[in-house]
Structure 1
């Protein structure tokens, strides 16, 4: 029988979010009902509220979440009621050309729950990234649930559902950072600082954090950056080259996603180095580079989708590292808040005052 729970709704572009009653149906074939325990406040949720992704209002916000499976629909075998899971927004299909070539992290046919959650009047909701986890319970495709150790803190574990995984994966999976490499990270918010942590985990010898906010740079140092550069007082390209004997970094990760930061990343890398774009540009942005420089500098220019992660492979491994004390996910939890505090948390996030506010149920 369908259940009524509270959820955070964005009804129109730019309007403050509201906590309203939503209707969550029982899971159908291939679906799972999850009791949400914690959900991080991510920039993507703010983009939804501002109409920056699409105009399919009203949205049920929230997607960076962990919780417990309450029930499953017909045909679900990978998770069962009682399992502690992290939710992901790229449930792989197993049948597309990427999956069949053994590259499921590039799956071109990811899927969500087929049934819709609604408002009390029957208005269908668009769940953020197919999840909608600023709610006491949510309905997702079973493939969006990845079982991990229940010993993990839900507030910390849920952050792997988006931002922290994007940054870690940009370094480890997309950038292929190796032992002894020099890595530069441009933009040290939640994703960028996760890239710093990923570079450290991969064994980078030198990690250069670049930002225009000294508070974020201080956090980057705590998380493993060996050097910092404030882009307001120093040219990032010259500074990174100066810290690398004039050569540039082996891997430069752009966690901002603007033409200017991408140009900095492009010219701050060593010959045959790698640029990883994980910051998300806006639709109107254009990039212009001399094609001869693209050819002459060699190396790789990569985009990182969700850190090129495969949740079934990466989430349990990263949670194991967390439980071993080798990955400090708790450091990304700036504060825990109530469901009714999301609008205020957007403001603190926009001002750069937090890495992550996390709604705890």
Structure 2
């Protein structure tokens, strides 16, 4: 099979490698594609703790496709089933998945890219946010994740204030139903705008979906007394400092909405697939760039640069 290999920082190559065979409790997937995740950027950029070349297909974990073979003891799944799955070497034509990490897809979603892991993340973050009808929710960072969370919050009956540095992303948030959009350019101007929109009460829920220090600071300042600050951004570049005096005074709850239990990821994927099938969410327009497998490096570069017009790239096989 062919697989993408990150040979060194900033360099991806296409290699022919042996196709794996499923062991007991596993399935072999013939992948249709895999999303490109921002969490892969430290590996792409080259942090000192990574080793190169990486394993073939790594670190792809957003794959979908059809079951090509079943390992011993697998029940309830069939060869040819179209599925989303949580795997770890999915920048390739084939990858292995544990049977319990596979989510069957309905025929109504045939032809639609289904990168399960980020869709599951969005549902899990939404669940832990505790968003209710009538609340004001600020979402800081409108990429793929922020756009989905905007849609889910609006569907729950909340008023959404979407905040992003890119005018293009604010247009996406409005299409997802955000009632207010604020350009993320000046800290104090944003505070004044949200203060006005909320009648100086600030927000019951704030979701930080960027992963940098300033958005985290801003998120805290926008969270009202006894509200909830939800950290959805993936903070990868070192330590963070917080204004603990203000956090104490406001008395808000802080939720780190990152999951590590694979079963919880899979539960989120199932929920996302159900909502897509019901027409509640439609992420298809959020896949703004598609690349063949031999252009994996270009997809990773775009995820790092995040130019206007970019939300998420997928690599297809």
Q: CA RMSD in A?
A: 2.3
Q: CA deviation at 1:135?
A: 0.8
Matched with 1:360 is 316
Which deviates more from structure 2 when the two are superposed, residues 345-354 or residues 277-286? Answer: 345-354
Out of 79, 100, 105, which is 1:148 matched to? 105
1:165 aligned partner? 120
Distance 1:234 1:203 in 2: 28
Aligned to 1:135: 92
1:184 aligns with 2:138: yes
**Partner residue of 1:8 out of 4, 18, 24:** 4
- CA separation in 1, counterparts of 2:284 and 2:25? 32
CA contact (8 A) 1:169 1:307 kept: no
1:55 aligns to what SS in structure 2? coil
The 5 A counterparts of 1:32-71 are 32-52=27-47, 54-59=49-54, 60-61=57-58, 62-71=60-69
- The number of residue pairs the alignment matches comes to 310
Match of residue 73 from structure 1: 71
Unaligned 5+ runs, structure 1: 89-129
Q: Distance in 1 between matches of 2:38 and 2:61?
A: 11
Distance 1:154 1:144 in 2: 21
Task: Normalising by structure 2, report the TM-score.
Answer: 0.89
**Is residue 258–residue 285 contact of structure 1 (8 Å, CA) maintained in 2?**
no
Residue 299 of structure 2 contacts residue 315 of structure 2 at CA under 8 Å; is this kept in 1?
no
Q: Say whether residues 1:305 and 2:258 are aligned partners.
A: yes
Q: 1:177 to 1:307 in 2, by over 3 A?
A: farther
- Rounded to whole Å, the distance in 2 between the matches of 1:79 and 1:203 is 37
SS where residue 157 of structure 1 aligns? coil
Q: Is the 8 A contact 1:31 1:139 kept in 2?
A: yes
Query: Structure 2: how far apart are the matches of 1:53 and 1:247?
Result: 45
TM-score (norm 1): 0.79
1:337 Cα deviation from its structure 2 partner: 2.3
- Please say which of residues 323-332 and 177-186 is displaced more in the overlay: 323-332
| Range with greater deviation from structure 2 (18-27 or 337-346) | 337-346
1:220 lines up with 2:173 in the alignment: yes
Contact kept? 1:10, 1:57, Cα under 8 Å: yes
Deviations 1:33-65 (A, max 9, x none): 111012112222333222349514332232212
Specify the alignment match of 1:28 in structure 2: 23
Q: Distance in 2 between matches of 1:166 and 1:11?
A: 28
Structure-2 separation of matches of 1:233 and 1:53: 34
Distance 2:43 2:108 in 1: 32
